[in-house]
């Protein structure tokens, strides 16, 4: 498990944390102006180097060692961590622009007295930090901030609102007040002498889309994308290892299964459901049979929900309501039971190869000056929809209208995507959360395409930097990391991302076919008849569970006594959401689900 905790103590009074676990490596030094402490799990993909000049810790893997060795004139005897140290000595922090892979780095420069917390371009491995006048804390898990004795955790009402809106806490925020995430493609530099910090952006996804679009034939584009995808799989160095793949039967996982199966027999895993509208197990089994994989199929049972859902609050370090988390966690358990240490997943396939909804709608809106759209929405908002009880109860019309108004009045396409995906109205958040003031700034506010990109690119780029990075990727990483399973994400290869960003949207989505290029690649391995069907998604029947198997647990978490004790929510409004759902209004299921999972998480967090 990749797990670490460290701190810089300017007061030099913080007691060293006693970690009685031989699986943890500990580094600690006392200096004139501060003490430094770091502990990390020496399990999968974690190592460090300590010399008179620097202390550097690498969590994760580097994929382009050959290039680094060539540039540094070193042979294969040098380790990855030694490469990092030499690269830093040669190029300073510019070295980060050269390396590729999935990693987090903590670097302490003893000569310059700087601490650097650095995350790779995609951001798979988390780094969270807290900074005050007398302390810097950095950790892989929000839960571990509490282990520093002088740190007093509190829930940030604005972050809580962000979680309720999106089901995850978006970068750069965490659920805790004054605690933040290092963002993908960025590093934080702390000057330990001046007690100052600065954020540095060294890679932006938006810049990939700024490059000129390629004038190549369709055949050439498909062949090049296929080649890059194969090379991405090869970079995982899985040739001699037993490998699992989560197979949904869709294009993403099926294409990866096809490429991997060419190398050797792989183990494919599928979670089935008895509810046909979300069950893809039959199709996945047919594809596994066609490819010849060693296939494992498990049908999710009601009792599994009772067992697994409470575990979410222990495994995900922040409240997390991504619907695929439960089957992903079950998949991780099954893989560990088989003794497999590596899994390949299709995270990022939608964003890299382009599954973009609402393209025409967003494009038409974006062509109208924002001030005109705002004026129109201002007039429409004067209609007192919330005073029409029948419509509000029957059709949830105020929420739907609010969402449409927010989309229309958004300043750019990233903000339109944000408005489309929010769950609670802004006025509801003020009625729900105590001490809530205004929406917190998130990645949605940082994304800037400068208005010179294709609409499809802006949509998929926005989803990439938000719900994929902080949702889909976190879902997979946390589940697999909990079971010491190395996660491999071939679609998130830097070279593949950069190439696909230069492909015209007219080819990414052709004849209305989303992910056209990936589908053409997939059809080289698998008959179209096995793949070409409506996508059902990796979902769970959570509404049915809450009405039946989980009902008692829901009431144990959402009740007047508990809500009054926690003092985070306004009790009456939360109870109304709960009761409305159980009285048969299914439109409240999403809101109740997020509230329920937060309550489970917070109970575990309090200890």
Average pLDDT for 230-249: 85
> In this structure, are 197 and 230 located in the same domain?
no
Across-strand partners of 312? none
Indicate if the pLDDT at residue 126 is higher than 90.
yes
> In this structure, are 160 and 22 located in the same domain?
yes
Last residue within a domain, chosen from 143, 173, 203 = 203
> In this structure, are 49 and 198 located in the same domain?
yes
Total count of residues recorded for the chain = 607
Q: How far is CA 510 from CA 240, 334, 362, 513, 515, in A?
A: 38, 38, 18, 5, 8
Residue 110 lies in domain: 4-203
> In this structure, are 248 and 179 located in the same domain?
no
Starting at the edge strand that comes first in sequence, how are the strands of the sheet with 486-488 ordered?
A: 294-299, 267-272, 243-246, 342-344, 486-488
What is the rounded CA–CA span in Å between residue 19 and residue 21?
Answer: 6
What is the rounded CA–CA span in Å between residue 57 and residue 79?
Answer: 13
Indicate if the pLDDT at residue 295 is higher than 60.
yes
Asked if residue 498 is part of any domain, the answer here is: yes
What is the rounded CA–CA span in Å between residue 344 and residue 258?
Answer: 12
Indicate if the pLDDT at residue 6 is higher than 90.
yes
- What are the residues whose beta carbons fall under 8 Å from the beta carbon of 341, sequence distance 6 or more? 44, 241, 242, 484, 485, 486
CA 559 remoteness from chain centre: 31
Indicate if the pLDDT at residue 592 is higher than 70.
yes
Last residue within a domain, chosen from 531, 557, 580 = 531
The pLDDT of residue 307 is: 92
Average pLDDT for 113-125: 95
Q: Give per-residue pLDDT as tens, 138-189.
A: 999 999 999 998 899 999 999 999 999 999 999 999 999 999 999 999 999 9
Asked if residue 574 is part of any domain, the answer here is: yes
Q: Which two tokens stand for residue 62?
A: 């580097």
Q: Give per-residue pLDDT as tens, 452-486.
A: 679 999 999 999 999 999 999 999 999 999 999 99
Last residue within a domain, chosen from 203, 233, 260 = 203
Reported as a pLDDT band with limits 50, 70 and 90, residue 451 is: low
Asked if residue 290 is part of any domain, the answer here is: yes
> In this structure, are 199 and 305 located in the same domain?
no
Q: 511: domain CATH number?
A: 3.40.50.620
Q: 62: domain CATH number?
A: 3.60.20.10
Q: Which two tokens stand for residue 466?
A: 């938000």
The pLDDT of residue 197 is: 96
Closest listed residue to residue 185, CA positions, set 264, 118, 256, 273: 118
Asked if residue 446 is part of any domain, the answer here is: no
The total number of structural domains in the chain stands at 3
Residues of the chain with pLDDT > 90, as a percent, come to 71
> In this structure, are 47 and 195 located in the same domain?
yes
The pLDDT of residue 16 is: 66
> In this structure, are 223 and 336 located in the same domain?
yes
pTM value is 0.94
Asked if residue 288 is part of any domain, the answer here is: yes
Average pLDDT for 256-271: 93
Closest listed residue to residue 325, CA positions, set 309, 339, 307: 309
**Dihedral pair phi/psi, residue 109, rounded to 5°:** -90, 110
Asked if residue 458 is part of any domain, the answer here is: no
Asked if residue 164 is part of any domain, the answer here is: yes
> In this structure, are 189 and 141 located in the same domain?
yes
Indicate if the pLDDT at residue 393 is higher than 60.
no
> In this structure, are 552 and 519 located in the same domain?
no
Indicate if the pLDDT at residue 392 is higher than 60.
no
Q: Which two tokens stand for residue 354?
A: 């382009």
The pLDDT of residue 539 is: 60
> In this structure, are 114 and 149 located in the same domain?
yes
Q: Give per-residue pLDDT as tens, 561-571.
A: 999 999 999 99
Q: What is the dihedral of CA 149, 151, 152, 157, to 10 degrees?
A: -150
Average pLDDT for 276-288: 89
Reported as a pLDDT band with limits 50, 70 and 90, residue 400 is: confident
Burial class (CB in 10 A: 0-12, 13-18, 19+), 188: buried
> In this structure, are 556 and 480 located in the same domain?
no
- What are the residues whose beta carbons fall under 8 Å from the beta carbon of 533, sequence distance 6 or more? 283
State the average pLDDT for the chain: 91
What is the rounded CA–CA span in Å between residue 265 and residue 567?
Answer: 54
Reported as a pLDDT band with limits 50, 70 and 90, residue 28 is: confident
Asked if residue 403 is part of any domain, the answer here is: no
Average pLDDT for 320-342: 94
> In this structure, are 227 and 145 located in the same domain?
no
Decide if 443 contacts 169 (C-beta within 8 A): no
The pLDDT of residue 44 is: 64
Q: Give per-residue pLDDT as tens, 59-89.
A: 988 888 889 999 999 988 888 899 999 999 9
The pLDDT of residue 80 is: 87
Name the helix (H) or strand (E) containing 136. strand 135-139
């Amino acid at each position: 498990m990749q797990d670490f905790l460290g701190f810089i103590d300017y007061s030099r009074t913080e007691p060293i944390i006693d970690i009685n676990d031989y699986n943890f490596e500990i580094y600690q030094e006392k200096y004139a102006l501060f003490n430094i402490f770091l502990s990390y799990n020496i399990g999968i993909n974690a190592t460090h180097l300590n010399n008179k000049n620097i202390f550097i810790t690498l969590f994760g893997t580097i994929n382009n060692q050959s290039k680094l060795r060539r540039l540094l004139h070193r042979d294969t005897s040098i380790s990855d961590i030694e490469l990092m140290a030499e690269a830093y000595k040669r190029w300073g922090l510019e070295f980060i622009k050269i390396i590729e892979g999935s990693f987090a780095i903590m670097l302490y420069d003893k000569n310059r007295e700087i601490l650097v917390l650095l995350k790779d371009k995609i951001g798979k491995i988390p780094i969270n930090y807290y900074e005050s006048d007398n302390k810097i804390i950095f950790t892989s898990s929000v839960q571990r901030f509490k282990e520093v004795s002088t740190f007093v955790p509190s829930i940030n009402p604005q972050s809580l609102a962000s979680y309720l809106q999106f089901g995850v806490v978006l970068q750069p925020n965490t659920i805790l007040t004054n605690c933040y995430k290092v963002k993908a493609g960025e590093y934080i530099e702390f000057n330990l002498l001046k007690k100052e910090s600065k954020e540095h952006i060294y890679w932006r996804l938006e810049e990939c889309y700024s490059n000129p679009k390629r004038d190549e034939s369709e055949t050439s584009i498909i062949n090049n994308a296929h080649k890059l995808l194969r090379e991405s799989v090869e970079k995982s160095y899985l040739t001699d290892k037993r490998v699992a793949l989560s197979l949904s039967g869709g294009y993403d996982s099926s294409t990866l299964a096809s490429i991997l199966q060419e190398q050797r027999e792989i183990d494919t895993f599928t979670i089935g459901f008895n509810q046909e509208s979300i069950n893809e197990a039959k199709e996945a089994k047919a594809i596994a049979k066609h490819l010849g994989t060693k296939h494992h199929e498990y049908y999710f049972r009601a009792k599994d929900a009772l067992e697994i859902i409470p575990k979410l609050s222990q495994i995900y370090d922040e409240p997390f309501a991504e619907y695929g988390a439960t089957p992903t966690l079950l998949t991780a358990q099954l893989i560990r039971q088989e003794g497999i240490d590596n899994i390949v997943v299709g995270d990022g396939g939608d964003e890299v190869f382009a599954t973009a909804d609402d393209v025409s709608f967003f494009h038409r809106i974006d062509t109208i000056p924002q001030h005109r759209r705002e004026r129109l929405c201002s007039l429409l908002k004067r209609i007192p929809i919330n005073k029409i009880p029948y419509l509000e109860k029957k059709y949830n019309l105020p929420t739907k209208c609010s969402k449409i108004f927010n989309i229309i009045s958004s300043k750019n396409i990233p903000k339109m995507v944000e408005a489309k995906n929010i769950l609670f109205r802004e006025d509801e958040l003020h009625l729900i959360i105590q001490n809530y003031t205004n929406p917190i700034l998130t990645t949605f506010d940082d994304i800037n395409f400068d208005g010179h990109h294709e609409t499809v690119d802006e949509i998929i780029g926005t989803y990439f930097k938000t719900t994929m990075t902080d949702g889909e990727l976190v879902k997979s990483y946390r589940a697999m990391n909990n079971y010491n399973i190395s996660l491999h994400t071939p679609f998130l290869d830097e070279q593949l991302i950069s190439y696909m960003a230069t492909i015209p949207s007219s080819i990414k989505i052709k004849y209305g076919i989303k992910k056209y290029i990936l589908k053409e690649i997939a059809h080289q391995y698998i008959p179209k008849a096995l793949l070409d069907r409506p996508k059902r998604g990796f979902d769970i029947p959570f509404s049915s569970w809450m009405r039946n198997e989980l009902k008692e647990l829901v009431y144990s978490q959402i009740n007047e006594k508990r809500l009054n004790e926690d003092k985070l929510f306004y009790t009456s409004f939360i109870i109304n959401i709960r009761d409305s759902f159980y009285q048969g209004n299914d439109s409240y299921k999403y809101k109740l689900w997020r509230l329920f999972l937060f309550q489970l998480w917070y109970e575990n967090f309090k200890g």
